[in-house]
Amino acid sequence: MTQSPMETRSSAPAYGGVGRPQPQGLADILERILDKGIVIAGDIRVNLLEIELLTVKIRLLVVSVDKAQEMGIDWWRNDPMLNSSAEQLAEENRELRARVEQLESGGTDGKG
Amino acid sequence: MGASGRYLVAVSRGLDAEALSEVRAIHGSGVHMVECEGLQAIVCDVDLDEFGEEPLRGNLENLAWVEEMARAHHAAVCAVDAVATTVPMRFATIYESDDRVAEQLRVLRDPLTEALDRVEGASEWSVKAYAAPEPPEPADRPRAESGVAYLAQRREAVEARRRRESDDEEALSAFHHELARLAVASRRLQLQDPRLSGRQEPMRMNAAYLVAHHAAERFSDCATTALTGRPDLRAEVDGPWPPYSFAALELS
């Protein structure tokens, strides 16, 4: 049995169980009040659909990383588009491409 | 301070005006009730220098502002929902006057009444399921001897991942149906982008259930235990919420 990936997060409940997330987070609230609920035209007309949730969050990132971390939002850490792992991916891609070319041209990787 | 508008928080019925005295909405302001046709609109005053069309557009670009207002809106909806049958409004529904609010209640009386009928005696529960993070590739796997073998190896990895996802989907579909049987209504929502959920585990299910108050405990128990046979999946239950996901208007 491999080590549970969750063991590094001591506060997280185990898989197969159920977790109670922290008090309703901003992401869940925004998902509901911007996207759900009764929609009727007010006298003030601003199209909320233009304010995509994601756009809002990306703006948040641009505007204030500290603020976002305060709010417990740190998704960009895992976002290949937004952090250094993008470079890792690009590097891995380059390596893979080189290796495929090498193999297809009948070459060896220097060990065989 | 500029002219003021009426920010519509929710529509209720059977609400005692006294019960609103402690409710706080935008910027901590109190709320009042506009009644028409047996419906009650819960509104608070907002400054149009802040909530007029132009300033609102600008303010929506400011996440700190959006957060403060979103939390205030949600808190007010929750407070009203706690004491009466309530349908929440979408964020930033604003009218010029109480008369305009009353006019909307009159025009939309039937669909609003139907929406209230649908959610009466029930609350929304959110259930999300996450898969365990992808297992890392074994480090000691022998390197492919040839391009063909290498590609076969990659293909096998992709296949295995596809099988895992399809197994998950089957289990979660059964899970969802089991929960839906305990609910008045249910909706599977879009999976949240990891950037939105803030979680690194892939989300496999995002669903909302409208659950009668008397069935809430049974529902919660079921959501808690039904996936125990799948140690690689984890459900998270959150509720009760005001019935945001079940408060759509059906306009004829």
What pLDDT does A7 receive? Answer: 29
What pLDDT does A94 receive? Answer: 77
ipTM of the prediction greater than 0.90, yes or no: no
**Same domain flag for A57 and A37:** yes
Choose the closest CB to A24 out of B56, B144, B238: B238
- On whether any CB of chain B is under 8 Å from the CB of A1, the answer is no
Query: Cβ distance B231 to A16 under 8 Å?
Result: yes
Mind listing the pLDDT tens digit for each residue in A88-98?
666 777 778 88
**Same domain flag for B144 and B229:** yes
Instruction: Give the C-alpha distances (Å, rounded to integers) separating B93 from B43, B81, B148.
Output: 10, 18, 60
Give chain A's radius of gyration (CA, Å): 22
How many structural domains does chain A have? 2
Nearest Cα residue in chain A from B239: A24
The parts of chain B modelled with pLDDT lower than 50 are none
- Here the tokens at position B89 are 């409004």
- Distance CA(A106)–CA(B127), nearest Å, equals 53
- Here the tokens at position B191 are 């999976």
Query: Cβ distance B16 to B60 under 8 Å?
Result: no
CA atoms within 13 A on the CB side of B176: 18
- Distance CA(B105)–CA(A73), nearest Å, equals 38
Residues of B in contact with A19 (CB under 8 A): 234-236
**Same domain flag for B92 and B146:** no
What pLDDT does B78 receive? Answer: 95
Choose the closest CB to B196 out of A42, A54, A78: A54
Alpha helices in A1-112 (DSSP H): 26-35, 53-63, 65-70, 85-104
How many structural domains does chain B have? 2
Instruction: Give the residue from B82, B3, B61 showing the smallest Cα distance to B42.
Output: B82
* Residue indicated by tokens 């305990």: B182
**Residue A17, pLDDT above cutoff 60:** no
**Same domain flag for B223 and B176:** yes
What pLDDT does B86 receive? Answer: 96
Partner-chain contact A103 B150, CB within 8 Å: yes
Mind listing the pLDDT tens digit for each residue in A29-82?
888 888 888 888 899 888 776 666 656 665 555 545 555 555 555 544 544 444
What pLDDT does A95 receive? Answer: 79
- Asked whether residue A7 is assigned to any structural domain, the reply reads no
Query: Cβ distance B206 to B189 under 8 Å?
Result: yes
**Same domain flag for B137 and B177:** yes
SS3 B150: helix
What pLDDT does A3 receive? Answer: 35
How close does chain B come to A27, measured CA to CA in Å? 6
**Same domain flag for A86 and A100:** yes
Q: Supply the mean pLDDT for chain A.
A: 60
What pLDDT does A59 receive? Answer: 58
**Same domain flag for A83 and A97:** yes
Q: For A12-40, b where at least 16 C-beta lie within 10 A, e where not — what string?
A: eeebbebbeeeebbbbbbbbbbbbbbbeb
Nearest Cα residue in chain A from B76: A33
- Higher pLDDT: A95 or A8? It is A95
Interface test with chain A among B71, B244, B245, B246, by most A beta carbons within 10 Å: B244
Domain range enclosing A86 = 78-107
